Structure 1
Amino acid sequence: MSVLNFVRRAFAYMDGVIDPPSSVHRLTEDAIARQAEAGEVWLLEDEGRPIACLFLTLEPDRLYIGKLAVEEAFRGQGLARQLVALAEERARARGLGRLELQSRVELAANHAAFAAMGFEQTGATAHEGHERPTSLTFTRLLG
């Protein structure tokens, strides 16, 4: 299974839940290849197929976590925590003091999971055309 197919499947539970729809619907193999060149793409696999992933983007003062996803059958086993630990390691290696990610407002279970991993909500933004916040920003300071 390709990374693109995995990410789309892992994010499918958001369809009909979040507004606007996830950017995963616009994601392409070329975009993933560009992410791997300009940033990092990490996978955890089981028997050669992706079961979890993480995209990392270097920002001037932080490491941004994107497309953190775990296949439904493997959730609750600490894989997201393992990938966030990897992100922390990568940030520290670059001398960065924080991780940042965004989550849609409607995904309260994700917010709780991020809080359990040491993230705090530090902002809220609205997608174009929306007056209400549609995404929350979460930050984890690295001591």
Structure 2
Amino acid sequence: MSDLVIQRLDDSFHRWSKLLDLILTSFAYMNGRIDPPSSALSLTPQSLKEKARNELGFIAMDDDKIAGCIFCRAEPDTLYIGKLAVLPGAQRKGVGRRLLAMAETAANNLGLTTLRLETRIELTENHTTFAGWGFVKTAESRHPGFDRTTSIEMRKTIA
């Protein structure tokens, strides 16, 4: 990675199709592995633009290439982390950590002391990665219509 730059998504951003490609590429390993399928499959460039209007969104730029993204939503006592995505070729190079650091800063600015995320039960490697980043499993949940656990919730207390 050359000089990685983290930028907030705002009205000046116009590469929504490229951002969607990043998310779908980053989440492709889940296809056929998780049930129900990822909600990322229902995203469109327009829905991402709307998501960025309603949530805090950040992208990691490696020169002119979008290497990663994260979306965050304030909840009453926590900042929810969603759609944390890093291109496969950029993984294990600090991109996810840098995006998560932006989420921590945003949480602090909002007076929130906890980050929360959900990850699918089948994606044990994600559980391990998030645990390494300081997240702890706090709950299990199931998608509507399922009689088994489909997701786990993880939280991280921040200073």
TM-score range, shorter chain: over 0.9
Per-residue deviation, 1:47: 2.6
Q: Are 2:129 and 1:117 aligned?
A: no
Match of 1:130 in 2: 146
Runs of 4+ in 1 over 6 A off after TM superposition: none
Q: Percent identity, please.
A: 38
Per-residue deviation, 1:128: 1.1
Q: Are 2:157 and 1:141 aligned?
A: yes
Per-residue deviation, 1:112: 0.5
After superposition, residues 29-108 of structure 1 pair within 5 angstroms as 29-108=45-124
Give the Cα–Cα distance (whole angstroms) in 2 for the partners of residues 112 and 82 of structure 1: 18
* Amino acid in the other structure paired with 1:20: P
Normalised by the length of structure 2, the TM-score is: 0.87
Per-residue deviation, 1:38: 1.2
Per-residue deviation, 1:66: 0.4
- Paired residues in the alignment total 143
Normalised by the length of structure 1, the TM-score is: 0.96
Give the Cα–Cα distance (whole angstroms) in 2 for the partners of residues 52 and 112 of structure 1: 19
Residue ranges of structure 2 left out of the alignment (5+ in a row): 1-16
Give the Cα–Cα distance (whole angstroms) in 1 for the partners of residues 138 and 35 of structure 2: 21
What are the superposed Cα offsets for residues 15-64 of structure 1, whole Å, 9 maximum, x if unpaired?
Answer: 01111110011111222111111111111122312111101111121111
* Amino acid in the other structure paired with 1:72: P
Partner-residue secondary structure (3-state), 1:2 = helix
Match of 1:25 in 2: 41
Q: Are 2:28 and 1:12 aligned?
A: yes
What are the superposed Cα offsets for residues 75-119 of structure 1, whole Å, 9 maximum, x if unpaired?
Answer: 111111111111111000110010000000001111001001000
* Amino acid in the other structure paired with 2:33: V
Give the Cα–Cα distance (whole angstroms) in 1 for the partners of residues 141 and 153 of structure 2: 8
Partner-residue secondary structure (3-state), 1:129 = coil
Per-residue deviation, 1:65: 0.5
Partner-residue secondary structure (3-state), 1:91 = helix
Per-residue deviation, 1:139: 0.3
